[in-house]
Amino acid sequence: MRRLLGAIPTLFFISILIYGFVLLSPGGPTARFSMNPKITPQALAAFEHRWGLDQPVPVQYCRWLGVCNPDGQGLGVFLSSSGMPNFLPGIVGGGSNGVLHLDLGVSSSSGVPVSDVIAERFPRTLVLAGVSLVVWLTLALIFGVVSAVKRYSKIDSAITVFNYVAYSFPTFWLGLLLIVIFAATLGWLPAGGMWDVRNTPIFGSGAYWSYLGQHPVSALGDLGRHLILPVATLVAVSVAGDSRFVRASMIDAMRQDFVRTARAKGVPERGVVFRHALRNALLPVVTNIGLELPFLFTGAIATETVFSWPGMGAQFITSIGQYDYPVVMGISVITAVLVVGANLLADIVYAIVDPRISYG
């Protein structure tokens, strides 16, 4: 619980940073319009008034966050139209504007609400990240345990060499390389995208779900074909770091007295490895994975760009190029919340798995 409260100031700092950076950013929030000769200064001023950009900076920030009510006067800005504090959720009489109420503004390039943009993009990133996570954990555990149990054998050195090399690959270059080999040269797999535009509807649309219901095999097969290269890219780099970690932690566990006791009792080697050593070796691994979970989303920026995967990371890069600040801010907020949440989760899971730890 104390941990949970400790995350609030961090998130508060992050929100100030995100907002502050936009103020410093090229051209500010009206950059897109002020360059257009058809937009008169009057229209620009009206726009700024409409979105409260003519207000002092703290008021703007307060509104964006959702603590202040844009319709309020004087000290009444902190109250919603129903008279309750504005930062409370809408159901108990709070306001409806600002980040706290999931109102992230409207995209300045497409006019769509940012929450809709994210709602469309997020599941796609989640598919990529989820599949990668499963493959990543499986491989990291297999590699780590095998090389710890068969320490200094040929297979251990092979895995070690693989780890070092894969760890040194820039994510996006590995992606490029895979495209060169498997898409451009061999032509086995698609070079990018998430679905085959010729016969599959847009992922996430109503048509896609009905297509999935009618032809589950071809729909999932198509998704799978598009997933192979990006997942391989994301997984290769992260497995390398983690299997080294699992190996070290496993070797440490195998040296403990309880492992010797188990062997002396006559427990078969398989039981020693999996039931006695691995369960204890997993403790530090769990924390480490919690700390690395955000990489699935930040690493996805590189992967999604290279493979034109239409997820959040690719949207982020596109929006930066379009000076679409509401979308950039929205994605930053979501990412920051995910990172802080993952760190918190790692702490909590660690306390659950290891009875020796308590946060009082």
Partner 1 sequence: MDEIGKARVVETPADLEDLLAAHPDYDVQLESLNQRQLAWRRFKRHRMALLGSTMFLSMVVIGIVGPQILPFDKNAYLPTNQVVNVGRPPMVIPYFHPFGETTQLQYDVFTLVINGIGLSLLISVGATVVATLIGTIVGGLSGYFGGWLDTILMRIVDALLALPLIYLILVFSEFLGGGNWFTVMLIFALLGWLQTARLVRSVILSLREEDYVDAARVAGVSQMRIIFRHLLPNALSPIIVAATLSIAALITAEAFVSFVGYGIDPSTPTLGNILSGAQEAIGAGNWWWAVFPGVAIVFIVLGINFMGDGLQDALDPRAKI
Which residues bind to partner 1, rule: CB under 8 A? 9-10, 13-14, 17-18, 21-22, 24-26, 164-165, 167-173, 176-177, 179-180, 184-185, 191, 294, 298, 301-302, 305-306, 316-317, 320-321, 328, 332, 335-336, 339-340
Helical segments of the chain, H only:
2-24, 31-34, 41-50, 57-65, 114-149, 154-167, 171-178, 206-214, 216-254, 257-265, 269-271, 279-306, 312-321, 325-353
Q: How far is the CB of 26 from partner 1 (least distance, A)?
A: 4
Cβ atoms of 22 and 28 within 8 Å: the answer is: yes
The residue among 73 and 168 lying less far from partner 1, judged by its C-beta, is 168
Q: How far is the CB of 143 from partner 1 (least distance, A)?
A: 17
Listed residue (305, 155, 345, 160) closest to 239, CA to CA: 160
Q: How far is the CB of 125 from partner 1 (least distance, A)?
A: 13
Determine the Cα–Cα distance for residues 48 and 55; give it in Å rounded to an integer. Answer: 9
Determine the Cα–Cα distance for residues 146 and 150; give it in Å rounded to an integer. Answer: 6
Q: How far is the CB of 232 from partner 1 (least distance, A)?
A: 16
The residue among 97 and 343 lying less far from partner 1, judged by its C-beta, is 343
The residue among 159 and 219 lying less far from partner 1, judged by its C-beta, is 159
Cβ atoms of 237 and 169 within 8 Å: the answer is: yes
The residue among 14 and 348 lying less far from partner 1, judged by its C-beta, is 14
Q: How far is the CB of 107 from partner 1 (least distance, A)?
A: 17
Q: How far is the CB of 25 from partner 1 (least distance, A)?
A: 5
Listed residue (186, 210, 170) closest to 301, CA to CA: 170
For the purposes of burial, counting CB atoms within 10 Å of the CB of 37, is it exposed (0-12), middle (13-18) or buried (19 or more)? exposed
DSSP structural state of residue 113: B
The residue among 204 and 299 lying less far from partner 1, judged by its C-beta, is 299
The residue among 94 and 175 lying less far from partner 1, judged by its C-beta, is 175
Run of H or E residues at 92: none
